[in-house]
Structure 1
Amino acid sequence: GMLHSSIAQWAQVDGAKDVAHDLVLGAQVSGPKGSSRTGEVARLFSNVFLVTWSEWEPVRLQHVGYPSMSADRSQPAVEQLRFSPILYRQFPGYMRYSLIIGLLLVTLAASGQLNMTLLGSLNYQALHNSDLSDVWGYVDELGNEYALVGVNDGGVSVVSLADPANPAEVFFFPGNGSIWRDLKVWNDHAYVTTEGGGGLAIVDLTPLPQSTSLTAQNFQGNGWDAAHNIYIDENGIAYIFGANRGEGGVIFLDLTQDPFSPVELGAFDTWYAHDGMARGDTLYVSHISDGFFSVLDVSDKSAPVLLGTQATGNDFTHNCWVSDDGDHLYTTDEVSGGYLGSYDISDLSDIEELQLIVSDPGSGTVPHNTHFINDFIVTSYYSYGTTIHDVSRPWNVIEVGHFDHSPNFSGNGYHGGWGTYPYLPSGNILSTDIEEGLFVFAPTYVRACWLEGTVTDAQSQVPILGAEVSISTTPVVTSTVLGGSYTTGYAIAGTYDVVVEAFGYETLTIQGVQLQNGQVTLLDIELMPLVPINVSGTVVTAGSLDPVPGAMVTMVGEGVELQVTADGNGQFTFGNAYEGTYSVTAGQWGWHTACFTLQLDPNTPTQTIELTPGYADDFALDLGWSVSGNAQAGIWERGIPVGTSYQGGASNPGVDVSGDCGGQAYVTGNAGGSAGNDDVDDGATVLVSPSFDATGLVMPQVSYYRWFFNAGGNSAPDDTLLIALSNGIDTVVIEQVTALDPDLASWEPRTITIGDHLPVSNEMRLHVITSDGVEGHLVEAGLDRFELLGGPVSVQEGAGPMEDLTLWPVPSNGHLEVRCDTDEDLVVEVFTSTGALTSMQRIRNGRGTIDFGTRKGVMVIRFTYSQRTLVRRVVVN
């Protein structure tokens, strides 16, 4: 197919979409796993991309070739800028399909409570000294309501809601301890799965309310006695998900013959199944670690037929629920900052992702379970509580209710809300909080106030992609997608100002916009373009001022990243920058990366960026490290680390090593979520540096920071992080880290003398290898701040005296004034006491200042001018 960007006004004609295009080039997108089809993707504006294909094939964004988006304003955290595909319908006039990748953030202020009233609660720490898992509801023959609660320390709790303000446990059936316990009801019997083993627990609820002496027993499955989840359809068919048999797919049980003796009818065992639900003869399954949901025809339970699959936004599909009309499906991705996903499944051969929703953006809160009711979805979040979203416009989903019942936790992590149940006849919502217990809420279901429209260029009328639309005094913010269209809204009616911003345009505030519940406010917006500023400069070597050909230069401003490559003379030009503040980074392999802040205006002069020669990489830029291996997950990638945790401690790093340019490091997988999500799995992943020349240095050393974490599994962790050096002939391990290392799960500095391990050459490379062995454990690794150190300075102190050189104060307080009786420039090189070059600068006309930054101790300074050299040692306090 061809790659295009929109250059004409978007049109909506009879439900079809028609648009004109112009050629744009960019980074790469590839087809699904195993496909050889590749294409091009254009970075049109801040977070919008477009790909067109000449024929239909599902496509997956693999790598855009750009640094991560800045998060230095009221934007989502970086992990929330991991865009996922939204597939729109065919353009009839072009017979193409287009992929739009965008991010819509719709949320409410973190007030803790909106349209949900707490009626009552039950503290299970006091009742059973236990945390909780899932919850379901039951209604007896007299209309009395009950909560069925999974108790982690082992059991099923039946709770009377006769007085919702005072829930009371009336029955408890003990079982094996497990943090996973799921419950459903059929024909006055509760069926409960657990990963703790012991079988399927079955509780006869028919004696209620006259008697609380209930019969309960465990059913042993055919080759399984533990499972993650259960769903029971309207026909009395139970679907067992994630059992300890085979791949852990779905097992079909008939409950209608004997409620205590289910009969197995068949299974679907192609993939592990984490959760799901069914209606009629259609089953919807969430394949969590495989990252997608599937839809199956199960009319013949002995031979289910796969109808379609769809990847979800974060590739970690935890649960899903279908709308009453069967046309839409809603999903949760159980990762930090994970999405609620809205999908059009009316055509299972062409499933469309309509919207990805983040609640409490920037906090990293994790969604868990969602349920559809009357064009709303009710969702449990770990640290954020229970939410209600209006999905009556499934392409514009708005949060309209919320209650935070986890006061001691916030943000990322797996504490707080677990399950929710919105189907009681009273309308009350049940929610379980892992630590806080059972909650009973009275919801007020209100329709959203929707705001929709387009944003265009006021002069050319061209749609603007990536324009940010926000509603003042609220945290609501969204971005325009293809055609300049946007969809957003709020829960509370009122008069608001709408602020619209786009890179290259004047910010516009529209005052007095009326928003009303249950109504769509249409607001089309035109923005005036700014005059672009050309930014040019040269990247040179510090000291010699020789050009650095091919240097990479980036400018990161508010909502935009610009990147160019310097030509053979080290010269570069940005032709599409605008007035504002930018973070500028420049680098090339063989030089130290430099970074600074640039306040850009029409009078900004030509820039000269000096790079200190030497091999070093803080990974602020992609300087050419290669990745290989056969691992199926947790592959090395460069980015701002997204932290994960295990048993209260860090597993994947959450930050890079401080004190360098940018926040990037190399880590093994960076999708966030649980410790087991995107860690190294089923093989090895290998990171290799570009080659570096260590010859000509006295006692050359490599310095780096490394991270390693190894835990979990069903046996003692036995995985390894290997760091090796090669010289073009031999490869030798210089460090080996195991689960027994005392410095796990932290950034640990190491300095290794190359000559202690193998001969020095001009083709040296650093190799970093880790893997997950046959037994299967949690494995995470990281690398940051690589540097080749030069050994002791070879010039003898005092060589070539300069009696006219004056330095003060000595000892230094962090700065050193330099005076030399000459009109020539001095080249000043600063080394550590071990010979590592820390900086190089040119002092004009013999007068200047040396800034030692945060370095302390003995520093060695080499001054050179007119073929004269002097070395002085200075103590820095």
Structure 2
Amino acid sequence: MVTGVLGVLAFSAAYLARMSRPVFIKALVGALACLSAFTAPLQAQTNISAVGHLSYQQLRGSAIANLWGYVDELGNEYALVGVNGTEEQPGGLSVVDLSDPANPQEIFFLPGPASIWREVKVWNDHVYVTTEAEHGGLTIVDLSPLPQSTVLPSTVWIDDGWDSSHSLFIDEAGRLYIYGANEGNGGVIMYDLVPDPMAPVRVGVFDPWYAHDGFARGDTMYVAHIINGFFTIVDVSDPAAPVLLGQQTTPSNFTHNVWLDDAGTHLYTTDERNNSYVAAYDVSDPSDIQFLDKLRSDGGSGAVPHNTYWLPGDFLVQSYYTYGVSIYDCTRPDNLVEVGSFDTSPLSGGGYFGAWGVYPFLPSGRLLVSDIEQGLFILEPTYVRGCHLQGTITNGATGIPVAQASVRILTTDAEETTGISGAYGVGTLLPGTYTVSVTAPGYYPATVEGVVLQTGELTLLDVVLDPLPTYPVSGVVRSATTGAPVPGAQVWFVNDQFTFNTLTDVDGNFVFPAVYDGVYTADIGAWGWHGACPPDLVVNGAAVADLTVELEPGYADDFALDLGWQVSATAPRGVWERGRPAGTIYQGEIANPGEDVSGDCRDKAYVTGNSGGSPNSADVDEGGTLLTSPAFDATGMADPHVRFFYWFYNAGGVTPPDDALRIWLTDGADTVLVQEVLAAQSASIWRFSQIRIADHVQPTATMRLLVYTEDHEPMGHLVEAGLDQFAVVPNASTGVADEPRAEPLLIWPVPASTSVSVRLPGGMEADVLITDALGRTLSTGTRTQGGVAELHFDLANGTYLVHVVTDVGTRFSSRFQVMR
């Protein structure tokens, strides 16, 4: 049952923002109802123990959001918890007395509108709460009457320019920073709290990008721009005129939060994506920010980090959704080591459930954790040092550093990949004697036994790798019709470990002087030619010479290679990209198809924001994205047409979808719209289109195809599109075909070795043949019997096509692979 809930409701903040309030409340209540059978089990813990727990499902029938802590004048500790609410119950702020941490008691509740977002901060005995609820404003509560009285003065303060926001920060001087308000781009709005903590005074704005969260100290602000995937460092000594000092992308390009150490030299970040990281940076020079290290907990499970905080003593504490809370030793910011964890959630893997927030700054040292479904946890951490291992990996023949070397401490999860410097840093919690494994593409693996690691100490280990032998590979690319050389053709040989690529010279020749043993997928192509995917290249202890590849002339692109299509965008995300389509699901239906059009060399296409996961994680938002073909000459062709496959998906939002996919042709001077796919035609299935050029513009030698889609609202609709199998062809039928591509052939086994069986639907009878990717016939004369044919062959490894012509003239084709 839990798996089903996760599959349907693994929603992100952006996803819920697309829902109307009743819809998201019902979804949330439904999820919580399914989870209500779970209590708060102590699933896994290392150096953190349970002290107390408060269930908000029992207390208020609600999930919770973020939290903060507070200490009164007598030293009593409190948890300040953001409560979501439901359609029937209000959300709000809950103040919990922790005098008996094993038995926490709510002593004050201030109701407010229901919302899944509440962020909490404290300054000068006042608590400030943001929410994205409509007209939620900024809640301010005076905590100074505690502990003598629980009658706490409060107000809901609303700025003239906005009435909802995502998060906040307050620096040591009483400057309030509001992030993600519904004003402008949702950047940073700054206020002075000193004159009156209950009535902020606006003093400045920094609004070039949407801001999700941030940190500030003195005259410097650090801002997480989640949509753009980077953080900025800004001089706010004059808040009315902020100055950008530096900018840095984060490992998963979805920067959620930032936190600075006391020295002001190191910044730590999280990316709110599945399987993402906590990252460390040297920010001592904002104009030259240096990435140092990244670490993730429960690696490979999909768990999502949310908020990280630096503690004196050089520890990081972070809330980690389904993983709970974790502690990292950051004594060496270039070598983070996990030294503690506590799992608050019965769930696991990706998705936005579990531990939302953690507060690690109480004088008692206890941790406060807000688990969305399970409630408030009071935990007792034990801070210990990790065992650190560092060194450099070098080439045994040349002495130069080895990049992309994987260093692993066996029997642990510790693993690091070297950069161009060859340096690595890994670590583990438990001291002992370990075996270290080092592997790198192009080198023999190395294993070092008896490596002693000790708590709080650094062990140095440099490793030398011996390179593998290499062999030359050469050949020529020629025209299949004239035999003339094809200069400037791309030649790629790729396998799981290595990628080799070059361009042919003026005589069509190519040479790779050093290729490792192995089997390589081959792709050869050039703009103005039909690409080829010949049989696999096999290098086995000897040179490979005199390879000959023939290309058919003509403009065709199945996007197996990058032949020069240009991508531009005003949107910060959802931009066109070439790759293997990553399927997504929205409300039980396909949003992004998970495959390209069959029948071409490889499995790539152009897709907008091709990240997979949640359908809204990389759809087109806040602008548009344009895909432009290289120029093609349509003058020497009889009645030229352009043909291609496409899909367009438009759904979601609080208003009916109203976006479009637009396709233009330009002759180099004029640009005309030749096809418009409206929201009513939205469908996540490849559709075929062919367009007669002369119906729109005069064919010229400088023609291009342009494909554009947009969504200008950051929390608007889902907008996604795809393009595949572009070609310019003569004498084709006219008009636009808008029917789904038929895929009636069933071929098995795949991959094949010496034979395949082919089945047509309905017992249709047909002639069946096999061609290679260049269209050359390799097997003919086979007829189906009862709609089934068995084809026997002796073919080299590679991709081939089965073509079928039925007795009524219908033609089908599909690809298959041979692997022997």
Please tell me the TM-score bracket, short chain as reference: 0.7 to 0.9
Identity of aligned residues (%): 46
Alignment-derived partner of residue 353 in structure 1:
291
Q: Following the alignment from structure 1 to structure 2, what is the Cα–Cα distance between the partners of residues 736 and 360?
A: 46
Alignment check: 8 A CA contact 2:492 2:501 kept: yes
**Residue type of the alignment partner of 2:395:** D
TM-score by length of 2: 0.75
Counterparts of residues 535-684 of structure 1 (less than 5 Å):
535-539=473-477, 548-589=486-527, 590-594=529-533, 597-603=536-542, 605-606=544-545, 607-609=547-549, 615-628=555-568, 634-640=574-580, 656=596, 661-670=601-610, 675=616, 679-684=620-625
**Structure 1: 5+ residue runs without aligned partners?**
1-110, 795-811, 817-827, 862-870
Corresponding residue pairs, total: 719
Alignment-derived partner of residue 151 in structure 1:
83
Pairwise CA distance, 1:136: 0.9
With over 3 angstroms needed to count, the CA separation of the structure-2 counterparts of 1:679 and 1:116, relative to structure 1, is farther
Counterparts of residues 458-857 of structure 1 (less than 5 Å):
458-539=396-477, 548-589=486-527, 590-594=529-533, 597-603=536-542, 605-606=544-545, 607-609=547-549, 615-628=555-568, 634-640=574-580, 656=596, 661-670=601-610, 675=616, 679-688=620-629, 690-691=631-632, 702-709=643-650, 711-712=652-653, 716-725=656-665, 733-743=673-683, 746-752=684-690, 754=692, 765-773=704-712, 777-778=716-717, 780-788=719-727, 813-814=757-758, 839-841=775-777, 849=793
Pairwise CA distance, 1:183: 0.6
**Residue type of the alignment partner of 1:308:** L
Q: Pick from 191, 206, 215 the counterpart of residue 269 of structure 1.
A: 206
Instruction: Determine if the alignment matches structure 1 residue 178 to structure 2 residue 115.
Output: yes
Instruction: Determine if the alignment matches structure 1 residue 138 to structure 2 residue 78.
Output: no
Alignment check: 8 A CA contact 2:773 2:801 kept: no
Alignment-derived partner of residue 308 in structure 1:
245
Q: Pick from 381, 390, 400 the counterpart of residue 443 of structure 1.
A: 381
Counterparts of residues 17-28 of structure 1 (less than 5 Å):
none
With over 3 angstroms needed to count, the CA separation of the structure-2 counterparts of 1:405 and 1:874, relative to structure 1, is closer
With over 3 angstroms needed to count, the CA separation of the structure-2 counterparts of 1:660 and 1:430, relative to structure 1, is farther
With over 3 angstroms needed to count, the CA separation of the structure-2 counterparts of 1:829 and 1:698, relative to structure 1, is farther
Q: Following the alignment from structure 2 to structure 1, what is the Cα–Cα distance between the partners of residues 301 and 491?
A: 31
Alignment check: 8 A CA contact 1:858 1:876 kept: no
Q: Following the alignment from structure 2 to structure 1, what is the Cα–Cα distance between the partners of residues 250 and 586?
A: 23
With over 3 angstroms needed to count, the CA separation of the structure-2 counterparts of 1:294 and 1:699, relative to structure 1, is closer
Q: Following the alignment from structure 2 to structure 1, what is the Cα–Cα distance between the partners of residues 810 and 686?
A: 32
Alignment check: 8 A CA contact 2:599 2:813 kept: no
Q: Following the alignment from structure 2 to structure 1, what is the Cα–Cα distance between the partners of residues 630 and 237?
A: 55
Q: Secondary structure at the match of 1:512?
A: strand
Alignment-derived partner of residue 22 in structure 1:
none
With over 3 angstroms needed to count, the CA separation of the structure-2 counterparts of 1:230 and 1:643, relative to structure 1, is farther
**Residue type of the alignment partner of 1:602:** G
Counterparts of residues 107-126 of structure 1 (less than 5 Å):
113-126=45-58
With over 3 angstroms needed to count, the CA separation of the structure-2 counterparts of 1:687 and 1:277, relative to structure 1, is same
TM-score by length of 1: 0.71
Alignment check: 8 A CA contact 1:625 1:688 kept: yes
With over 3 angstroms needed to count, the CA separation of the structure-2 counterparts of 1:703 and 1:291, relative to structure 1, is closer
Q: Following the alignment from structure 2 to structure 1, what is the Cα–Cα distance between the partners of residues 556 and 401?
A: 43
**Residue type of the alignment partner of 1:220:** I
With over 3 angstroms needed to count, the CA separation of the structure-2 counterparts of 1:696 and 1:343, relative to structure 1, is closer
Deviations 1:720-745 (A, max 9, x none): 101345677986645422333341xx
With over 3 angstroms needed to count, the CA separation of the structure-2 counterparts of 1:366 and 1:581, relative to structure 1, is farther
Pairwise CA distance, 1:854: 7.8
Instruction: Determine if the alignment matches structure 1 residue 858 to structure 2 residue 805.
Output: yes
Alignment check: 8 A CA contact 1:200 1:220 kept: yes
Q: Following the alignment from structure 2 to structure 1, what is the Cα–Cα distance between the partners of residues 814 and 423?
A: 58
Deviations 1:758-786 (A, max 9, x none): 58968665431223358983564333431
Deviations 1:111-138 (A, max 9, x none): 9654333444444345444333211112
Alignment check: 8 A CA contact 2:622 2:713 kept: no
Alignment-derived partner of residue 30 in structure 1:
none
Q: Following the alignment from structure 2 to structure 1, what is the Cα–Cα distance between the partners of residues 187 and 383?
A: 36
Pairwise CA distance, 1:453: 1.0
Pairwise CA distance, 1:244: 3.7
With over 3 angstroms needed to count, the CA separation of the structure-2 counterparts of 1:741 and 1:238, relative to structure 1, is same
Q: Secondary structure at the match of 1:594?
A: coil
Alignment check: 8 A CA contact 2:472 2:544 kept: no
Alignment check: 8 A CA contact 1:592 1:615 kept: no
Pairwise CA distance, 1:790: 6.8
Alignment check: 8 A CA contact 1:420 1:429 kept: yes
Alignment check: 8 A CA contact 1:400 1:446 kept: yes
Q: Pick from 201, 205, 213 the counterpart of residue 143 of structure 2.
A: 205
Alignment check: 8 A CA contact 2:130 2:136 kept: no
Q: Pick from 315, 319, 343 the counterpart of residue 376 of structure 1.
A: 315
Deviations 1:789-817 (A, max 9, x none): 979999xxxxxxxxxxxxxxxxx94399x
Q: Following the alignment from structure 2 to structure 1, what is the Cα–Cα distance between the partners of residues 288 and 280?
A: 14
Q: Following the alignment from structure 1 to structure 2, what is the Cα–Cα distance between the partners of residues 307 and 722?
A: 37
**Residue type of the alignment partner of 1:839:** G
Deviations 1:138-173 (A, max 9, x none): 234454433222122321122344454554433321
Alignment check: 8 A CA contact 1:595 1:661 kept: no
**Residue type of the alignment partner of 2:83:** V
Alignment-derived partner of residue 193 in structure 1:
130
Pairwise CA distance, 1:509: 1.0
Alignment check: 8 A CA contact 2:223 2:231 kept: yes
**Structure 2: 5+ residue runs without aligned partners?**
1-42, 86-90, 734-755, 761-767, 783-790, 816-820
Alignment check: 8 A CA contact 2:187 2:206 kept: yes
**Residue type of the alignment partner of 2:69:** G
With over 3 angstroms needed to count, the CA separation of the structure-2 counterparts of 1:696 and 1:677, relative to structure 1, is closer
With over 3 angstroms needed to count, the CA separation of the structure-2 counterparts of 1:438 and 1:540, relative to structure 1, is farther
Counterparts of residues 24-63 of structure 1 (less than 5 Å):
none
With over 3 angstroms needed to count, the CA separation of the structure-2 counterparts of 1:277 and 1:594, relative to structure 1, is same
